[in-house]
Amino acid sequence: MKVSCKWLKTMVDIPTDIAAFTNALDLTGTAVENVQTTGAQLDGIVVGHILTREAHPNADSLWVTTVDVGAHNVGEDGSPAPLQIVCGAQNFVAGDKIPVALLGTIMPNGIEIKKAKLRGVESRGMNCSARELGLGEDHAGLLILSPDAPVGVPIAQYLEQGDTVIELEITPNRPDCMSMLGIAREVGAVYNKPYTLGREAALAAVGQPASNLVRVSIDDPERCPRYTARIIKGVRVGPSPAWLVERVTAAGARSINNIVDVTNYIMFELGQPLHAFDLDTLTKDAAGTAHIVVRAAACGEEFTTLDGIKRTLDPDISVIVDGNAAAGAGSTIALAGVMGGLHSEVTETTVDILLEAATFSSAHTSRTSRKLQLFSEASARYERGVDGATCESFSARAAALMVEVAGGEVCEGVVDVYPAPVVPKELSFRVSRFQGFIGAPIPVDDITTILVSLGCEVAIQACHPEQSEEPRQTDATAIMDPAVLRPDEYLALDHTVLSVTPPTYRPDLTREVDLYEEVLRIWGMERIPATLPGGRGRIGERTREQQRVTQIGAALRASGLNQTMTYAFGAPGDNDILKMPFDERQQAVELINPMNSEQSVMRRSILPGLLRSVAYNQNHGVANVHLYELGTVFFAAEGRKQPKERQLVAGVLAGTWFDAGWNTVATALDFFDGKGVVEALLRELNISKIRFKALDAQAAPWLQPGRAAAVMAGSQQLGWIGELHPSACTAFEATAPVVAFELEVKALLAAAQPARPYKDVPQYPAIDLDVAVVVDESVSAVSIEQVITSAAGNLLDSVRLFDVYRDAEKIGAGKKSLALTLTYRAADRTLTSEEVDSLHQKVLRKLSGAVGAEIRG
């Protein structure tokens, strides 16, 4: 909503300090989005006096003028000298006063005025039309000023063009503020000042009654609660007077012609959208009466709006039709509340006007605008709601103004269909409850003043508390104290109950609490003391799950991974190109209205997003990538509204941990770096019975076979880890190798133990014995460890694998040598070497037997 301060000043006093004014608006709920000072674009344009007008020697339609611009141009002697300006307009004579753009002026359209030769004659400036000044559409000739216009005065000053236009954000609950009248009332309430309409316009109606010329019927009053039609005959459509142009321009519209400008002017001034139809274009019955019908559009009906666009309608859209069954079918002439039609628009040849002032349902208007992507000043107002009570009087004001600016006469009366007039509703306002709700003792006088200034009728309903010595419950009147008040506290409250009737232009005020807001915002939120709730029984806690999830992130960061976030959206083919299969029960959640096809489903794995980030880093010269994300994945649930959501934690590793340093070697990250990260995480969560079970190409096609494992806790799978298949990397434009893992948070939390049990710290010395075993490649490290552990029993403290060695010549092809340190220890005594030796020999025998190990050294 654009508000011209110049216009507003004619309605209500406003401070001269615009910054203080906009601040006051901001702090009372009318947000200021922008402040613009106009008139600045007319710098360099002054009042000129045409001294001579001679025909151009080389062009028929041009004139050579000399123009006095006062001291803006001086001759060699320093005294004012007229300018020679070549001019193409025809509507002037020598002696006229006109606006002149001096050399160097930047015109409102951005063009700079330069010295030029036009057909061989020098021209030093430009004589301007109204349109060239941005003051209207008239470009037929120069803007002829009053003969008494003072030569040389800046045109902005002369035309009083200087204005400050404030752009306000009007919240959807405030239809009343979509007009200058509403803003003036609001400003009046803020400063506790009176406001007026300013400009007068009295209606003098003559001639035949309007009801002879037009009939109105409404099919469904829910769509159109009120429709008024007035007839103005014999108008002369033409340019608007300067004041009208100025005001509709300041409000953000273009000046079209005097009739359309009046409809826009009244909409801006009073908030009542109007539509002027060319009466001659409407279908009439035999008696010459036009029939206006408001009804649902037909399904698939086509209609061309004022902007020349043909639109397809449906029955949810309301239309205005010029005809009914009796008068012939008629055709659609307007989209109700949104835009008129091309066929019936007011043109230069229009003589008789049918003026519509109506109210249309906000829901239908809003849906129509959204559906057709057609938003107009009218629809913006109808969407919020237009006051039905004032249609008729506002239409009268519009008709009077039309006659004033376009001549003609207004027909007697108005055709007004208003089946269910708006009835104002009376509300109670409990002052003590209000004070308790807000937390400040705002006096009842202030409350009354504010409500009255906003247009409410206020009366006192009750004011005396019952005298009593008993403590009393306060539920009904105040919620300041939850339990019981002492008699003195109770009596200290203001027990006044006000009876408040909001005006019809405030449909948002339907409940007591709505009035609270009105008083609070005008009285001033900044005046309310800041306190903290004193309530009992609150505990700032996180659930165990929330704590665990925090631990997951902390553990991964401690292992060197950086947390990231990626899109929860994905492309439908992400999992296919990754070769990460999902079974039929794990369908993707599809978006009905995605931003683009790359983001048209919800992700089922975090990996594609992370892989894109790996590629992003690699493409930007960052080779070392260590990322994790903890987030949601989504699966459609057949037969259910809401899909299934699961939390996953996923990580990717590429490159090295860091570049080689003076004292560190850079080692390429591989499967075991990822495995180490996962092991550290599982340890932090106290998860026991951890196993890494090799996954083959069929089980995990997105991973490189031989470097892929399921992460298990007992028989429960927690997730997977592996080096991504090189073709999966290629598909996402990432460079292999990339190590990745993805674990299910719910499974991690289920397997996590609250704490590990305490074990005695060893008190007796241990004996370490090393062994090297040569086994077939197919024998896994964990199986060797299992043989050792079961053979050695509880005297074995730990086993540590410290070397893996392959040498076809020395130990044979297809073989590997594993070197292990076995630590023996008893909890209750020092072991003897004999004891350990015999146990160790048993372990070695078992190793040979169980896994065919050849014992070396």
Task: Tell me the C-alpha to C-alpha distance, in Å, between residue 424 and each of 199, 417, 456.
Answer: 28, 19, 10
Is the Cβ of residue 94 or residue 623 nearer to another protein in the bound state? 623
Which of these ranges, 5-13, 154-162, 510-518, 736-744, lies near another protein under the rule CB under 8 A? 510-518
Q: Which of residues 519-558 bind another protein (CB under 8 A)?
A: 520-521, 525-526, 528-543, 546, 550, 553, 556-558
Is the Cβ of residue 609 or residue 719 nearer to another protein in the bound state? 609
Phi/psi for 773 (5° steps) reads -120, 140
Q: Which of residues 588-607 bind another protein (CB under 8 A)?
A: 589-595, 599, 602
Is the Cβ of residue 90 or residue 664 nearer to another protein in the bound state? 664
Is the Cβ of residue 226 or residue 626 nearer to another protein in the bound state? 626
Q: Which of residues 572-591 bind another protein (CB under 8 A)?
A: 589-591
> Can you tell me which residue has the tokens 């004579």?
93
User: Is residue 776 within the footprint of another protein (CB under 8 A)?
Assistant: no
Q: Which of residues 658-677 bind another protein (CB under 8 A)?
A: 658, 661-664
Amino acid at 187: V
Residues 359 and 383: beta-carbon distance below 8 Å: no
Which of these ranges, 214-222, 340-348, 495-503, 610-618, lies near another protein under the rule CB under 8 A? 610-618
Q: State the Cα–Cα distance between residues 253 and 4, nearest whole angstrom.
A: 12
Q: Closest separation between CB of residue 834 and another protein, Å?
A: 33
434-445 in b/e burial notation, b at 16+ Cβ within 10 A? bbbbbebebebe
Is the Cβ of residue 342 or residue 637 nearer to another protein in the bound state? 637
User: Is residue 300 within the footprint of another protein (CB under 8 A)?
Assistant: no
Is the Cβ of residue 366 or residue 496 nearer to another protein in the bound state? 366
Q: State the Cα–Cα distance between residues 318 and 600, nearest whole angstrom.
A: 34
Residues 404 and 199: beta-carbon distance below 8 Å: no
Classify residue 199 by its DSSP letter: S
Q: State the Cα–Cα distance between residues 394 and 230, nearest whole angstrom.
A: 11
The correct pick among 141, 198, 424, 560 for binding another protein (CB under 8 A) is 560
Total residues found in the chain within this entry: 857
Which of these ranges, 196-204, 513-521, 686-694, 814-822, lies near another protein under the rule CB under 8 A? 513-521
Q: Closest separation between CB of residue 487 and another protein, Å?
A: 19
User: Is residue 681 within the footprint of another protein (CB under 8 A)?
Assistant: no
Is the Cβ of residue 63 or residue 434 nearer to another protein in the bound state? 434
List of residues 6+ apart from 185 with CB closer than 8 A: 176, 195, 453, 454, 455
Q: Closest separation between CB of residue 484 and another protein, Å?
A: 12
User: Is residue 362 within the footprint of another protein (CB under 8 A)?
Assistant: yes
User: Is residue 626 within the footprint of another protein (CB under 8 A)?
Assistant: yes
Mask 311-350, x = binds another protein (CB under 8 A)? -----x----------------------------------
Q: How would DSSP label each residue in 611-647?
A: HHHHHHHHHTT---EEEEEEEEEEE--TT-SSPEEEE
Structure tokens, 92? 């002037």
* H helices present in 376-500, as ranges: 377-384, 391-406, 431-438, 444-453, 487-492
Residues 313 and 297: beta-carbon distance below 8 Å: yes
* Vertex 176: Cα angle to 395 and 345 (nearest 5): 40
Task: Tell me the C-alpha to C-alpha distance, in Å, between residue 195 and each of 11, 182, 481, 502.
Answer: 5, 10, 41, 18
List of residues 6+ apart from 745 with CB closer than 8 A: 549, 552, 630, 646, 647, 648, 649
Residues 166 and 3: beta-carbon distance below 8 Å: yes
Is the Cβ of residue 236 or residue 521 nearer to another protein in the bound state? 521
Q: Which of residues 147-176 bind another protein (CB under 8 A)?
A: 171-174
Is the Cβ of residue 27 or residue 201 nearer to another protein in the bound state? 27
The correct pick among 74, 363, 459, 804 for binding another protein (CB under 8 A) is 363
Which of these ranges, 156-164, 405-413, 631-639, 845-853, lies near another protein under the rule CB under 8 A? 631-639
**DSSP element (H, E) containing 47:** strand 45-55
Which of these ranges, 44-52, 197-205, 361-369, 793-801, lies near another protein under the rule CB under 8 A? 361-369
Amino acid at 33: E
Is the Cβ of residue 628 or residue 741 nearer to another protein in the bound state? 628
Structure tokens, 534? 């004193």
Is the Cβ of residue 183 or residue 406 nearer to another protein in the bound state? 183
**Coil, helix or strand for 429?**
strand
Q: Closest separation between CB of residue 829 and another protein, Å?
A: 37
User: Is residue 511 within the footprint of another protein (CB under 8 A)?
Assistant: yes
The correct pick among 121, 351, 422, 637 for binding another protein (CB under 8 A) is 637
Q: Which of residues 709-728 bind another protein (CB under 8 A)?
A: none
User: Is residue 642 within the footprint of another protein (CB under 8 A)?
Assistant: yes
The correct pick among 645, 733, 768, 807 for binding another protein (CB under 8 A) is 645
The correct pick among 51, 140, 492, 565 for binding another protein (CB under 8 A) is 565
Q: Total binding residues for another protein by CB under 8 A? A: 109
Q: Which of residues 441-500 bind another protein (CB under 8 A)?
A: 475-476, 479-482
How many Å is the maximal CA-CA distance in the chain? Answer: 132
Q: Closest separation between CB of residue 665 and another protein, Å?
A: 11
Q: State the Cα–Cα distance between residues 336 and 22, nearest whole angstrom.
A: 35
Closest to 447 measured CA to CA, from 494, 479, 490, 510: 494
Q: State the Cα–Cα distance between residues 458 and 509, nearest whole angstrom.
A: 14
Q: Closest separation between CB of residue 632 and another protein, Å?
A: 6
Q: Closest separation between CB of residue 137 and another protein, Å?
A: 33
Q: Closest separation between CB of residue 79 and another protein, Å?
A: 45
Q: Closest separation between CB of residue 30 and another protein, Å?
A: 8
Q: Closest separation between CB of residue 656 and another protein, Å?
A: 10
Classify residue 112 by its DSSP letter: B
Q: Closest separation between CB of residue 518 and another protein, Å?
A: 9
Q: State the Cα–Cα distance between residues 622 and 717, nearest whole angstrom.
A: 33
> Can you tell me which residue has the tokens 């050792």?
788
Q: Which of residues 11-30 bind another protein (CB under 8 A)?
A: 26-29
Is the Cβ of residue 203 or residue 749 nearer to another protein in the bound state? 749
Q: Closest separation between CB of residue 837 and another protein, Å?
A: 35
Q: Which of residues 25-54 bind another protein (CB under 8 A)?
A: 26-29, 31
Residues 406 and 236: beta-carbon distance below 8 Å: yes
The correct pick among 263, 366, 496, 605 for binding another protein (CB under 8 A) is 366
Q: Which of residues 62-101 bind another protein (CB under 8 A)?
A: none
Structure tokens, 629? 């994300």
Closest to 633 measured CA to CA, from 649, 646, 650: 646
Q: State the Cα–Cα distance between residues 27 and 508, nearest whole angstrom.
A: 20
Is the Cβ of residue 314 or residue 835 nearer to another protein in the bound state? 314
User: Is residue 678 within the footprint of another protein (CB under 8 A)?
Assistant: no
Q: Which of residues 173-192 bind another protein (CB under 8 A)?
A: 173-174
Residues 415 and 237: beta-carbon distance below 8 Å: no
Which of these ranges, 216-224, 490-498, 507-515, 698-706, lies near another protein under the rule CB under 8 A? 507-515
Structure tokens, 188? 């009046």
Q: State the Cα–Cα distance between residues 817 and 800, nearest whole angstrom.
A: 14
User: Is residue 622 within the footprint of another protein (CB under 8 A)?
Assistant: yes
